[in-house]
Each structure stands twice: as structure tokens, then as C-alpha cells.
Amino acid sequence: MDDVNVIEVSTTVDSGSVLGRHVWVRAGTRLQNVQVGDDCFIGFRCDVQFAAIGTSSMLATGVHCMGTAQAPIRIAENVWLGAKVTVNEGVSIGAGAVIAAGALVTADVPADAIMVGRPARFIGWRSVVEDGRPSPEQVLAKVRERARSGLPSMLDRSTQSVARLKSLNPETATWEISDEALIDAELRGGASVEIARDCILIGRSSRQGGMSQLGGIELGTGVRLGEGVVIEAAGGVSIGAFSEVAAGVTIVASTHDHSFRSLPWEEAPVRIGSRCVIGEGALLVGPLSVGDGAVIKPHSVVIRDVLENTVVHGVVQLMEIQE
């Protein structure tokens, strides 16, 4: 086990990539010709090609940085790229910039700018308390210790057996869980839940060593998770009975306080009601609640509450009910 960096299972780092110290690369990510500075975090299923990433920069789940040899991407130090951000070839992002979840970055971004939307647009400047830069170093020590103790871990696929998962989470006895899912989470809920292949589920409550009392995943009776769903539930995720979450959906129950340079972690619970339909490729970032019977169209970005029995699409920021 690497005592400097943590590279999780199902990750590809090619020979043209160079990693600094205290770098955390989460499961399912691909790095091709990427130079990564010290103290960086790269989330689940990122695809980063021909890029330079500065010290203490953080890339959330599903980020795509599609540089080329002729037009590489340059990300300066202490940058935050939210979940499912896409950065086009040749773009440079200045130090301390924050790019909101789901944004498409097509042009250079100045230092400490806040950008949102597709294409990304400028909405303001960060005003920060200079309390130091973020680093995953302390968390990495806990990740290594958990792996060494033999508990379920994203560092060792052999700890991820369905039988063992069910023994640790008794309420999952009737669940149908694919052997090809990656799960390191506290699970509870109703009967007859289905979790398809290539799902990634993480998060537990403070009772099991997590960061929040709300942490963990609760899935009601009959909930179905499609292929490749990612649920990051350190801040708590609950999905009501008979709701359907389609392939490629990402649900994130945490955020970071961008008013501090260190980007401290904050819980941001996600609550989805019963008989909801979450469309393919949608992104939900807490804190938010989705009411019973709501429908979220494919590839929507939802960062605010959704009322019951409504249909929403696009970027849902301020209770924008579309239909």
C-alpha cells in the first residue's frame, strides 16, 4: 500500500502522468498525460487528459478535462471543480477559482472567479478567509488504516463481496446487489431494493466512523438504482419507496465552504421522496429535498428543492418548476 498517495480500484494512471504527494484518486478515474501537484483530490469516474493540475486543487466526481497534446488544460493551485464539470481543451483556470457542479468551461477563467452554467459564466469573485490550503493528507491516513484493518475499502476489491456487505448491513438481506457494484457505505431501508452493476455507494454515519450523524444511505422498499449510479452519502441520502434512479445518476450529499481558502467540508443531506423518477445522467447536489412523485428529466442539474408531483429539467437552482 502506498504510504504517500491513495489510488483506488478500477483506476488507470498512464505512464505519462506524474503525481505529487498526498494525492487521492478515487475509483473508476482515468488519468492520461496528467501532472498532478501535491495535496490534490480527484473524485470518482473522472476522465482527465493532457492537463496540469496545481497544488491543493480538488476535482469532484465525474469531472471531464479533455485536453490534447496540442491544446492542454492548465488548472492552477487551489481550484475547485464541482461534480460533472467539463473543461474543454486549451482552457486555463486561475488559482482559487470555483466552478459550480455541472458547468461547461469553454474559455479561460481568472483567479478566484466563481463560474456557473453551460457554458460557464462569471457570477462573482471569491472573498475568502486565508486559513490555509486544502489537503486530503489527514483523511488519507484514516483511509489507509481502514484498509489495513480489513474493513470494506475502495483500495481492495476483495473486501467488497455482497455476502460481507449484507452481514454488515442486516437490513439489506432481501436486496439484489450486483457483484460488480463498489460499496463502502452504511446501508439501511426496506425490502426488495435493486442495485445494478457499476454503482458506487459511499458514506456512513458518525456511529460507524463517518463525518456526520446524518451519514449513510437509506433506500425504501422497491427502490431501483440503475447501472453506474454514484451516491456520495457522507452527509446522508434517503430515497423513498418505489423510486427509480436511472443509469449514470450522481447524488452528492456534501459541499464545501468556499468562503474559506481551505474549503472545509459541510454536510448537505439529500432527501428523495417516494415514487420519484430520476432520469439518466442527472446530477443532484445537496442540501435538497425532492418531493413525492417528482420527475427529474435526464441530464438535469438539481441543487435546490423540487416540489412534489412536479417535472423539472435543465439546471434547477431556485425552485424553477419547468412543467
Q: What is the pLDDT of residue 318?
A: 38
Examine domains 6-125 and 151-316 and report if their fold is the same. Answer: yes
Task: Give the pLDDT of residue 322.
Answer: 36
Per-residue pLDDT tens over the stretch 195-244: 999 999 999 998 888 888 899 999 999 999 999 999 999 999 999 999 99
pLDDT at 321: 36
202 is written with which cell numbers? 459511499
**CATH for the 151-316 domain, from 2.160.10.10, 3.40.50.300, 3.30.465.10, 3.30.1240.10:** 2.160.10.10
d(CA 120, CA 84): 13
Note whether 11 and 29 are within 8 A (CB): yes
Nearest to 220 by CA among 186, 163, 172, 269: 172
Q: Which of 190, 293, 264, 184 is nearest to 232 (CA)?
A: 184
Helix residue spans in the chain (DSSP H): 137-148, 162-168
Residue-wise burial string across 45-72, b where 16 or more C-beta atoms lie within 10 A, e elsewhere: bbbbbbbbbbbbbbbbbbbbbbbeeeeb
CATH topology (fold) of 6-125? UDP N-Acetylglucosamine Acyltransferase; domain 1 (2.160.10)
pLDDT for position 320: 37
CA distance 151 to 166: 13
Spell out, as residue ranges, where the chain has pLDDT lower than 70: 1-2, 316-323
Q: Where are the domains of the chain?
A: 6-125, 151-316
pLDDT of res. 313: 87
Terminal C-alpha separation, the chain = 52
Report yes or no: 280 and 249 within 8 Å, Cβ to Cβ: yes
Q: What is the pLDDT of residue 159?
A: 86
Spatial distance between the Cα atoms of 226 and 195, rounded to a whole number of angstroms = 7
Residue 147 phi, psi (nearest 5): -65, -40
What distance in Å separates the CA atoms of residue 200 and residue 202, rounded to the nearest whole number? 7
Q: Which helix H or strand E contains 244, and what residues bound it?
A: strand 244-245
